[in-house]
Structure 1
Amino acid sequence: MRKPKPKPFFSRSLMRTNMLLLSLLLVSGMLIAMFPFTYQLTKQLLRDSQTRQSRRLLEQTGQGIEFYLESMLETAEYLAATPETVRYLAGDDSAGAEVRRRLQVIAATRADYYHLVLLSTDGTLLTSRETVRQNPYRDFRREDWYSRAIEAGGEPIFTSSRVENLFFGDYPWVITTVKAIYDDGRLVGMLLIDLNYERIESILQATRQDDNRGYVFIVGSDGRLVYHPQQQLIYSGIKTERLDLAEEGAPDLPVMAGDAMYLSAHSDLSGWTMVSVQNTAALVSIPDAWILIYVLVGLAFFALAAILSWYFANRLTRPLQSLQTSMKRFEQGDLNTLADTNATLEIADLGESFNRMTMRIRDLLAESAATEEQKRQSELLALQAQIRPHFLYNTLESIIWMAEIGENENVVAMTSALSKLLRAQIAGGAEVVRLDEEIAYTNHYLTIQSLRYGERLDYDLVLEPGLEGIGVLRLVLQPLVENAIYHGIRHKTGKGLVRIEARSDGDHLVIEVWDNGVGFKNPDNWRHVNMNPDGGIGLKNVEDRILLFFGQQYRLEIESRTRTADDPETMLTTVVRIRHPKVTP
């Protein structure tokens, strides 16, 4: 009883569905793989955009601070340059009233000026505020800003954030502009302008972003804070700030510290450094609406891929299924059936070959009706060897399941071999052909069978040089190979081997087909089997054709023995031999 052939991994009836599913899985995998890349790209674009915006805001902040400091320097230059100021600091007390009046006028017009103070070198001071009194416990000449102003040689300097301790009982946090005043090259005193942060804070607030995204602070030339929006928390130790990154960061070179990005810009006028701090985690957070757009675009691509996959799957499988249907009708006896050739490449070529074959068969059947019965029977059997609808059906089925599992190279090889096999069969021509043509035809058949059987079948062709042009009966070698496969190799366990040898023996041509199959149990009974189980020609019919053409003295010779368990796998157990005179094709 013939064993059922195992189903391919992809069921033939579901070929279109399987192709669709594979395409959708591929597209889904690509979309899933692209999503992290797109997500990271979007985050990077958001980060770059926010960095550019931070640079612009930092530039605007620097311009605002410098414009403000320039106005304060103008005030300092005006006060330091008046003769009354120099006279007062030089020891002329009569100029003190006029100097105080000017200090009070300026303080009244500038709410951001906390103190305007003139300090003489002898330790006395004059301030715009009459209600304060000098702190007797502090000597301003020992302060850091005092020595720095002297080193500046009359150029104004700006301090970092500090506590003003010149006055008793009043210790505000201020930023101070200090200018040393000279009279004929002699230091006579200092001018101090204390700022109360109001104007600086308003400038920074005007360019400040959302609290969750970033802020700007200022660091002095001495590395200490000038201004910070959370300055009290920093001085109390509740909050810390990376002041060391102020010098490392630059507008074109951000410095990262955890989730914070530091950009800095230096002011040559004041020596201060403006630092922008951005929360990158908040910067690159993608809104839910954007994520929804990504999902919708992905679904749209998925739907488009499904439509295209269905279209191309139909376009590929419909011609194969149509050709298979035509083969089934042909196998059932409908010799007028024609395959649809509206396909491309090998499939269209295969359909055209099948159609030419069916038309040729009808013509040959009509011509053979007038011939002598025995010859007609022999030719008919030869034609049946060409037709082999069951062999064609099995071959097409193998092509389909190999296509389903993606063995594209094997599909092309088997389709090409089948096309050449059919083309050679329907070509017609003389009864005697060249030996190399007959071997080439048989080689196409062996290519198909080796692809069907896989590693279970191997074959070898040995042709003696110089015999290529010798004549041999057309379509006489392939049935012998078919017999070796179906009666010897198919029932054998392990790897099968078919060897074809052609040699010269005097005036005769000898062709031998060897196999290492199971062997004949009774070699004398082979003439009673007229057909192979799958519809091919039996050895008896091949011998009848040889007798008909060359005469009664030429017959098939068979040597065979039954394989035993101790035999090597490579041992050749059966040979079928054809021997006839050398003829010219």
Structure 2
Amino acid sequence: MIRRRSIRSVLFATYSVIIALILSISLLLFYLWSSDTLRKQALDSISGTSRSVQEKLDFEIQKMDTVSQNILYSNLVKERFLVFTGKSPADEGLSPAENVTQATKELAEILVAANGPALPAQQINLYDFAGNMFGSGFDNRRAKVDLRGKSWYRAVMGENDGKVMTTPEIDEQLINVLPTSEEPYSISLLRLFSDRYNAPEGIVEVKQSLRNLFKGLNLSRQDRVIVYTDAGELIYPAGKGFDAERQSIRQFLAHPEGGTTENPETGEPELFQVSRSEYTGWNSAVIRPEKTFSAPLRTFTSLFVLFAACILLLAILLTYWAAQRITKPIARLHRFIKTTDLSGLASPAPIELSSGLNELDRLQLAFGKMGERLRYSMEQLMQAQKQQLQARMLALQSQMNPHFLYNTLATIGVMAEENMNREIVEMIENLSDLMRYISSDDASDVNLETELAHTEKFLRCVGFRYGSRLTYQIDSDPATRNIQTSKLIIQPLVENAVKYSTKAVPPWHIWVRVYSEGELWFAEVRDNGPGFEEGRLEEIRKSIEKIEQSGQTPSLKVEGMGLLNVYIRLKIMYGPRMSFHIENAPQGGAIVTIGGAQTPGGNDK
């Protein structure tokens, strides 16, 4: 079947899609081009920053190296240090102690001069292989140290002419003399110290704090710098709590050309570029969040989307104006059809059409005639459904088991023989009320309070027959008193409980409990009899499944069909919101629980 649409909807859809496609494609192309351009610019900027960081570090390390080489190539330093360590003879005219004091003073002055006023080195240490240390800088001690215990000792001894650089370490030598509360991480540059015959005599150590080494970097606030060795050792930042940086280093080593990474802490995408120094062997990685360069693009995109929405809205308004004269008669007819209810179908109000189109006039006339026929048909159908539903409810209600009436009359006869006149009067009154309640058809729906009252009258009638051997208890939640339900919905369950529980040895007890949970009400009938036979339970469940599958009410017999009768009436009245459950209690006896919505409406669900 061909689906027909209005002219207005076709115009709206066509022009809106065309304009939306043009704007979307333009925005997408511009976004891709701008994003690629900004990305390249950001990568170039990050790469430049990375090279700047590398050059700055190389410059600082070169200054440290210059200090170390000035010391190495100074013969005066070599002579004075040998005198200080006792490996060079004393000068003539001076005692050994005076000679050492003089050499120490001169050596300190030379080291201070070698470091210069700019202090490229925070600390200079000279070591001989016997562990004697001469310090110049923040720590000017002359001490004995365990040279072989130093972390850099083996690396330095393996180098003949080259330098050795350490990774950042907490400087135990300066930790108590530096004027700062921060942990004094420092980097050492070390070279072998040789005598005039080029024989190794000791080691020169030039130290600089990590903070001073990196304080001159010109970085924007959003950039992060990570400096690391080719082996993946973290140079900067140093200290505890930088596991995220160490995690990033693995990706930097895998992609030394740079690229995109993910922030280990926030998960946001970031760009990075790496520059490697041949002089230090260090890699300088500069990381910048993608959002820093994409923020202007997102702002422009938002403005463009807003502009596109305005253009699209203007196009829709123009389309509406252009199609109004054509679609106005059709829209008027549509509104009339949409607002017409059952009462207006027989005599629909005339629709004024100004289009002059013959097809619309004929459509109006056909709709008027269709409305008359439809209303008549719906009235007939609704009347038939109402009568059918009422007939089914009355038929089901009339099928209730009358055995209690036969038993009651027999009991009255026995009581008459025993001259129990007062009990007979009371029993007949209860029976009369009960029969009037059962046989009346003026109100098929009653409230739960009324149903429970007549259920109790039934139990009183039965009680005259069984005496003290039968007791009962009725508990009712006050909130359930005015809930409307079908007549004779609880009494058959009580009758069934009395019938089967009295097959066991007395005393017999019947419990009736009515309560509510949320929007549902429940009635539970329990006895202390032998309970349901397993075959009987299976038979009832199969009958219920058959009703559910076929959707039809089976022919019910007067004998032995009380439970199904109750189930079917609950189904008709409450639909899917009904509750029906039967079981045997663990301690003996049977339990039947029924329920439904506090506001009946099953047929509408």
Q: Quickly name the TM-score band, shorter chain normalised.
A: 0.3 to 0.5
- Give the structure-2-normalised TM-score: 0.43
